[in-house]
Amino acid sequence: MTESHSRVAIVTGAGRGIGAAVARKLASDGFAVALLDLNEESVKQGAEDIVSAGGRAIGVALDVSNAEQVEAAVARVAEELGAPTVLVNNAGITRDNLIFKMTEQDWDSVLGVHLKGSFLMTRAAQKYMTEQRWGRIVNLSSTSALGNRGQVNYSAAKAGMQGFTKTLAIELGKFGITANAIAPGFIETDMTAATAERLGVPFEDFKAFAAKEIPVQRTGTPDDIAHTVSFLVSEGAGFVSGQVIYVAGGPKD
């Protein structure tokens, strides 16, 4: 078993895509993992898979933008697995449109899941981290934080995640807690598949087109992000805090 065997990690949006890969990776690193998602069936299955492989895990359904559900879910994790001292704020949605066509609801939904959801989750979990004098928070930003046509809501949320992360690092550092953001580039998930569909381009063509512009000449996978999370939540990463790591196959900022 690894050094992190006794630690409990929460991953939001763990039902599929990047979150599911992060949950699997943290379980294989020795963490007990709580998989949180809107979709109860998928996180229950993900948790069962981890338990079948010899790990400890539970799946909990919630909407991260609902304060009551967040408080109840985090309390349940603490009761069933132990104090959560690792939090990966990964749950996310897109509601893309050019600004002149963007509805108020598209704006509120995206800011609500990414920013308010991360705030609510972090507020609930930091209590356990400060008590334990140890914690690791990883927030999912995006290269879209630098600006992306059709994503004024999403890019504002993802830029917001970076400021949120840096302030958490400043406020919580004295309790042995680090906070960092990962800003992925193009990662092959349902989210990018949906973008291809919206643009009317076959996903394989969309990926091939994107890969040409990426220095390593390929698009990313959920495991690329899971490996970066694994490093940031490790014992050895305790002096890395308030950083934004672009995981995009090349430089971005």
Active site members: 154
Angle between helices 117-132 and 152-172 (to 10 degrees): 20
Shortest distance in whole angstroms from residue 174 CB to ligand NAP: 28
x/- letters, 170..199, toward ligand NAP (CB under 6 A): --------------x-xx-xxxx-------
Applying CB under 6 A, does 164 fall inside the site for ligand NAP? no
Q: Is the CB of 55 or the CB of 184 nearer to ligand NAP?
A: 184
CA distance linking residue 236 with residue 10, whole number of Å? 19
Residue list 95-154, contact with ligand NAP (CB under 6 A): 113, 117, 140, 142
Q: Write out the H or E segment, with its range, that includes residue 244.
A: strand 244-247
Shortest distance in whole angstroms from residue 188 CB to ligand NAP: 7
Binding test (CB under 6 A) with ligand NAP, winner from 92, 135, 160, 249: 92
Where are the strands (E) in 62-217, listed by range? 84-89, 135-140, 177-184
Length of the chain as a residue count: 253
The span of 33-41, 44-52, 71-79, 228-236 binding ligand NAP (CB under 6 A) equals 33-41
CA distance linking residue 232 with residue 241, whole number of Å? 9
* Residue 24, both tokens: 């699997």
Applying CB under 6 A, does 19 fall inside the site for ligand NAP? yes
* Cα angle: 104, vertex 108, 109; to 5 degrees: 115
Binding test (CB under 6 A) with ligand NAP, winner from 15, 46, 55, 135: 15
Q: How does 164-179 read in b/e, with b if 16+ C-beta sit within 10 Å?
A: bbbebbeebeeeebbb
Applying CB under 6 A, does 38 fall inside the site for ligand NAP? yes
Applying CB under 6 A, does 16 fall inside the site for ligand NAP? yes
The arrangement of strands across the sheet holding 84-89 comes to 57-61, 32-37, 8-12, 84-89, 135-140, 177-184, 244-247
The span of 1-9, 46-54, 87-95, 228-236 binding ligand NAP (CB under 6 A) equals 87-95
Q: Is the CB of 128 or the CB of 206 nearer to ligand NAP?
A: 206
Which positions lie near ligand NAP, rule CB under 6 A?
12-13, 15-19, 37-39, 62-65, 90-93, 113, 117, 140, 142, 184, 186-187, 189-192
